[in-house]
Amino acid sequence: MDARGQTPLHTEVSAVTQALLAWYRTHARVLPWRAPPGAARMAAYRVWLSEVMLQQTTVAAVIPYFETFTRRWSSVEALAAAPEEDVMAAWAGLGYYSRARRLVECARVVADMGAFPQDEAGLRALPGLGAYTAAAVASIAFGQRAVVVDGNVERVVSRLFAIDTPLPAAKGLIREGADRLTPDDHPGDFAQAMMDLGATICTPRSPKCLICPVANWCEARAEGKADAYPVKPAKVAKPARTGTAFWITRQGAEGPEVWLVRREGKGLLGGMRALPEDGWTARLDGSRQPPFAAAWRDLGAVTHVFTHFSLTMTVQGATVTRPPAGEGEWWPLARLDEAGLPTVFARAAARAMAGFELEIP
């Protein structure tokens, strides 16, 4: 503490920023959506696409999707022209499917505008761009000063300033801290340096303070309790739901096929191909009857955790000769991995396939 009761961090903010930028120049992670420090900035399309994919998904999981998307749709105009169902199918497995729909919607708006807006406010007005994504694209793709706060940055800032207010109430203080650290020059490098520091050194558990470039100024480290920040709110258990997916098969001309439906546009996993199910998305518990009378077999169960609830889904199977009532399509089992099933249904399908034996009625 200095004579005014402030810690070194409060008096040496620019030294922290410079130390972090110097560290980034030699330690930046090599990622397919990122320009190396000092190189020309990456196209806004790639920055935006990666940031949307990275929301609530790990870097390792995103890389193959990013490469597939940019190979198939190399510009925002190409993505804007793609049929939504193709994009949804390519997105399958990344989760949070409403993001994929907003991605297409945003691409179409940007294509109509002729280019991405270059400032934070203009970006924020696009469909699906929250405060974080708009700030990240403005600073990384366009070199605008913007305060970028993702989960990594939140952790680093709360430790640097030892912010002891629990989340989410601490968000304002964290943003204020990040704002004080963000430089006018190279704000994009700074944002990415903070993300990298959080991902590789200032990790949620056992941060590597001994090799941290900003350790000299870190208040949490000075207190000897880096792990204690950010202060988490008390945990609330997620509600548990149960449901049933129906694995309806037949012998097609070229091999076994399964009946798939297209989920309603606006609801959970809307617009995606899926197995028929018994309406678990609209209720908290209980079970319903299968959609028609048949010799149903129990094929096991899968569990999946959504943002607001966890689901235990039983899989019931039956072999039929006529299509069930309602809209749907017969899909060859040999090409089921091309159907673009969202993760919960891909798991249910894998469960059903493990015990699958087509019964010829």
Neighbours of 210 (CB within 10 A): 8
* CB 160, CB 154: distance < 8 Å: no
The count of C-alpha atoms lying within 13 angstroms of the C-alpha of 60, restricted to the half-sphere facing its C-beta, is 1
Q: Is 209 in the site for ligand SF4 (CB under 6 A)?
A: yes
- Label the pairing between strands 255-262 and 273-274: antiparallel
Residue of 19, 156, 344, 349 that binds ligand SF4 (CB under 6 A): 156
Q: Among residues 355, 343, 234, which one has the least CA distance to residue 300?
A: 355
Q: Between residues 232 and 322, which has the closer beta carbon with respect to ligand SF4?
A: 232
What lies within 8 Å, CB to CB, of 318 at 6+ separation is: 246, 247, 248, 249, 290, 294, 295, 296, 297
Cα Rg of the chain, angstroms:
24
CA distance 157 to 163: 8
Q: Is 202 in the site for ligand SF4 (CB under 6 A)?
A: yes
Q: Is 157 in the site for ligand SF4 (CB under 6 A)?
A: no
Q: Is 19 in the site for ligand SF4 (CB under 6 A)?
A: no
Q: Is 221 in the site for ligand SF4 (CB under 6 A)?
A: yes
Strand partners, 243: 313
Residue of 201, 245, 260, 269 that binds ligand SF4 (CB under 6 A): 201
- Label the pairing between strands 273-274 and 240-252: unpaired
Residue of 42, 107, 110, 212 that binds ligand SF4 (CB under 6 A): 212
Q: Is 51 a catalytic residue?
A: yes
Q: Is 350 in the site for ligand SF4 (CB under 6 A)?
A: no
Min separation Cβ 228 and ligand SF4, Å:
10
Q: Between residues 110 and 193, which has the closer beta carbon with respect to ligand SF4?
A: 193
Q: Is 100 in the site for ligand SF4 (CB under 6 A)?
A: no
Q: Is 207 in the site for ligand SF4 (CB under 6 A)?
A: yes
Min separation Cβ 215 and ligand SF4, Å:
4
- Residues of this chain that interact with ligand SF4 (CB under 6 A) are 156, 159-160, 201-202, 207-209, 212, 214-215, 218, 220-221, 226
